[in-house]
């Protein structure tokens, strides 16, 4: 086991958390005030980590007033981490838009999620570490066509929610 390295200890309040759900903002490469209201942690294009406004503890089950509303009907017990990217992106035909996901963001995401898993005792499985695109298939919670992540701008050969999720989980597990 590693110790927390990507996140300051002060960002990790005591709470009982069940999973980490990873997203992209569908915006630019820098965190906006709007983004900070919906996610606990954001990662900018250069790998800079930005703290969201809601405390992780507010999403402890059951979610409390002011919680981070990042995933439809799946916020209780869930930590929301988002990459700042993919403005004007399209899934098919794939076009990463004007702010494509960067490799630096992806690498920092794996470190951040590993820290969260370590801090909250979350095992790395398809039901506990997943992308928003995997929520419906892995947890059976209907979503509204979210495709973050089914494609990776820096690795176009990786296609599909499961392939992207498996790549993320392997990177996270490799950091624990």
pLDDT of residue 5: 81
pLDDT of residue 4: 55
Q: How many helices (H) and strands (E) does the chain have?
A: 4, 5
Residues 85, 24 contacting (CB under 8 angstroms): yes
Q: Provide the residue-wise pLDDT of the chain in tens; the chain has 176 residues.
A: 445 589 999 999 999 999 999 999 999 999 999 999 999 999 999 999 999 999 999 999 999 999 999 999 999 999 999 999 999 999 999 999 999 999 999 999 999 999 999 999 999 999 999 999 999 999 999 999 999 999 999 999 999 999 999 999 999 999 99
Helices 161-173 & 103-120, crossing angle to 10 degrees? 60
φ/ψ bin of 47: left (φ > 0), alpha (ψ from -120 to 50), beta (otherwise) = left
pLDDT value, residue 1? 40
Q: How far apart are CA 45 and CA 117, in angstroms?
A: 23
pLDDT value for 2: 44
Look up the CATH number of domain 14-173. Answer: 3.40.80.10
Per the CB < 8 A criterion, the answer to whether 126 and 91 are in contact is no
* In the chain, domain spans: 14-173
Tell me the C-alpha distance between 116 and 5, whole Å: 10
Q: What is the pTM of this model?
A: 0.96
């Amino acid at each position: 086991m590693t110790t927390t390295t990507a996140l300051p200890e002060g960002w990790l309040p005591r709470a009982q958390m069940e999973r980490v759900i990873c997203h992209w903002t569908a915006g630019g490469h820098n965190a906006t005030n709007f983004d900070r209201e919906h996610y606990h942690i954001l990662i900018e294009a250069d790998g800079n980590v930005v703290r969201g406004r809601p405390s992780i503890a507010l999403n402890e089950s059951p979610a409390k007033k002011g919680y981070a509303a990042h995933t439809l009907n799946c916020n209780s017990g869930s930590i929301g981490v988002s990459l700042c990217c993919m403005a004007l992106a399209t899934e098919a035909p794939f076009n990463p838009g004007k702010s494509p996901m960067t490799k630096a963001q992806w690498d920092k995401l794996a470190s951040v999620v590993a820290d969260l898993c370590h801090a909250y005792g979350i095992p790395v499985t398809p039901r506990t570490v997943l992308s928003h695109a995997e929520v419906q298939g892995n947890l059976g919670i209907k979503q509204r066509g979210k495709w973050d992540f089914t494609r990776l701008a820096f690795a176009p050969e990786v296609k599909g929610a499961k392939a992207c999720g498996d790549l993320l989980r392997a990177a996270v597990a490799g950091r624990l």
